[in-house]
Amino acid sequence: MTDDFIISDAGTGALLLDVAAGAFDEGRQARLLALADSLAGTVGIDDVVPGMNNLMVAFDPLAVDVDEMERRLADGWRSAAAVGRPGRQHEIAVVYGGPDLGDVAAAVGLSIDEVVERHAGAVYRVAAIGAMPGFPYLSGLDPALSMPRRAVPRQGVPKGAVIVGGGQAGIMPITAPSGWHSLGHTDFDLFDPDRDAPATLAPGDVVRFIIAGVER
């Protein structure tokens, strides 16, 4: 049997375990999160970073043997069970609207109301946190709302923008450039640097969007 994963070097102090087999897979993600939990707190490991069907581990290479870490990741993946994190539940109120909403509706061939209902009708799971402080990569987007990201990212997409890009959904934690499309806005706070755990959401959490209004 061939291995269903690849481990590559990410410089001298990190390894990337990639278990993706085409499109994002929830079962594999649950196994990865279980592996991440089992690695957290290991002496010498600085960071355990779940991505979308991948996991990066960063460590002090003068304190941790790289070959040993590679074996640990491989064995850990093979034996990881999709136990699933309990995950907290979040309801996030969204005022739908803004300049992209109509464009998205036109691009996917739905009415604005249908776009809003499909976006708010889905149950999302936080697959990973990253890129920006506290930014959640949400899986579970209705495939009918899937549309390619912009070729050129737009500057200054505002904090609180509720966005979709490719098959993923997310929320902007800070005002920053993004190639994703905005469907609305929320006041939900995703990041507070004064907290020990600064990100509000965590991988495994469940998110539902509530329609607080639709502006046209």
Partner 1 sequence: MIEILSSGALNSVQDRGRRGLLSSGVSRSGAMDLPALAAANALIGNDRDAAAIEVAAFPFRLRFDADTTVAVTGAAAEARLAGRRLPPWWAIEARAGDELTIDPPTVGARVYVAVGGGVDMPLLLGARATDLKSGYGGHEGRGLRRGDRLPLGRRPSGKLPNGGIGAPPPPGRDDADRPLRVLPAAEWSDFSGEVRQLFATVDWRVTAEADRQGCRLDGPDLVRERRRELLSHGIVPGTVQVPPSGRPIVQLAEANTCGGYPKIATVIDADLWRLGQAVPGDAVRFAVVSRDDGLAALRAAADWLAGLRRAAALYRVS
Q: Is 39 near partner 1 (CB under 8 A)?
A: no
Q: Is 77 near partner 1 (CB under 8 A)?
A: no
Q: Is 58 near partner 1 (CB under 8 A)?
A: yes
The C-alpha atoms of residue 213 and residue 52 are separated, in whole angstroms, by 31
Of the pair 56, 105, the CB lying nearest partner 1 is at 56
- Interface residue with partner 1, options 30, 34, 56, 164 (CB under 8 A): 56
Q: Which stretch binds partner 1 (CB under 8 A): 44-52, 92-100, 116-124, 155-163?
A: 44-52
- Interface residue with partner 1, options 34, 35, 53, 159 (CB under 8 A): 53
Q: Which stretch binds partner 1 (CB under 8 A): 13-21, 78-86, 87-95, 101-109?
A: 13-21
Q: Is 35 near partner 1 (CB under 8 A)?
A: no
Extended beta strands in the chain, E state: 6-9, 14-18, 45-50, 54-59, 89-96, 123-129, 136-139, 154-157, 161-165, 168-171, 176-178, 181-185, 206-214
Joined tokens for residue 44: 């010498």
The C-alpha atoms of residue 82 and residue 55 are separated, in whole angstroms, by 15
Q: Is 52 near partner 1 (CB under 8 A)?
A: yes
Q: Is 87 near partner 1 (CB under 8 A)?
A: no
Of the pair 81, 152, the CB lying nearest partner 1 is at 152
> If we measure between CA atoms, which residue out of 51, 65, 209 comes closest to residue 135?
51
Q: Is 161 near partner 1 (CB under 8 A)?
A: no
Joined tokens for residue 49: 């970073």
Mark out the alpha helices in 109-160 (DSSP H runs). 112-121
The C-alpha atoms of residue 145 and residue 119 are separated, in whole angstroms, by 8
Question: What contacts 21, CB < 8 A, 6 or more positions away?
Answer: 4, 28, 53
Where on the chain is the footprint of partner 1 (CB under 8 A)? 6, 8-14, 16, 18, 20, 24, 36, 46-56, 58, 61-62, 66, 128-135, 137, 168, 173-174, 191, 193-194, 197-199, 203
